[in-house]
Amino acid sequence: MKVRNIQKMLIGIVVLLCMSVMNTQAAEYTHEVKSKKIAFAWKIDGDTLAVKLTAETDGWVGVGFNPVEEMKGANFILGYVKNGVAELNDDFGTDENSHQSDTKLGGTSDVTLVGGTETGGVTTIEFTIPLNSSDKNDTKIDVNGDTTVLLAYGAGRDSFKSKHKYRTALKVNLSTGASQNLE
């Protein structure tokens, strides 16, 4: 009798834990926008922005925040997964058509890799960045106003040097999730 009660109690605990994990994973990101074969999901966590980028590619995925003109002045985060290991780069838009590593430009890398996967031709990168890093190459991200978000992905190579296969620009309110295509 006691053994059955203990078994029932353990089964109940396992079920509750599974439900808790599923609910946590389902609610991990507050908002998401999709454009063609790329998705940008995010959650504001205090003074940090948690981001998940997913694209139908075996190359890199990337996001840029607040360009001044085309790519110029944007804070770019690019990532790929090679042999099961995720790589991440924090870049700055140096002109309308290119970007370079923040650290090569005298700034700092302010992105924290959370994880990444590449399965069945789909690459997912998760990271966090501060909303205001104080890096000279990063603009402050205002969660209450509109943020220009650039999304892109490359194909065929796990390299930060390969050109994008797809790109788009969106106006996004990070607090409400409202978005508008800018192209």
Coil/strand/helix, residue 168: strand
Question: What sign has the CA pseudo-torsion 110, 126, 117, 18?
Answer: positive
Q: In what order do the strands lie in the sheet with 112-119?
A: 31-35, 38-45, 48-55, 122-130, 112-119
Q: Which amino acid is at 52?
A: K
Q: 69 CB contacts (<8 Å, ≥6 apart)?
A: 96
**pLDDT for 111:** 92
- Specify the higher pLDDT residue, 3 or 60: 60
Q: 85 CB contacts (<8 Å, ≥6 apart)?
A: none
pLDDT digits (tens, 9 = 90+) for 25-37: 444 999 999 998 9
30-181: CATH superfamily: Cellobiose dehydrogenase, cytochrome domain (2.60.40.1210)
**pLDDT for 19:** 40
**pLDDT for 11:** 54
Taking the C-alpha atoms of residue 40 and residue 79, their distance in angstroms, rounded to an integer, is 13
**pLDDT for 26:** 40
Say if residue 14's pLDDT is above 60. no
pLDDT band at 48; cut points 50, 70, 90:
very high
| Model confidence, pTM | 0.80
- Specify the higher pLDDT residue, 19 or 112: 112
Domain ranges of the chain: 30-181
Taking the C-alpha atoms of residue 60 and residue 90, their distance in angstroms, rounded to an integer, is 13
DSSP letters, 16-39, are HHHHHHHHHHHTS-SEEEEETTEE
pLDDT digits (tens, 9 = 90+) for 90-140: 988 887 777 777 778 887 888 999 999 999 999 999 999 999 988 888 888
**pLDDT for 122:** 95
The tokens describing 178, both together, are: 């409202």
The tokens describing 56, both together, are: 């139908």
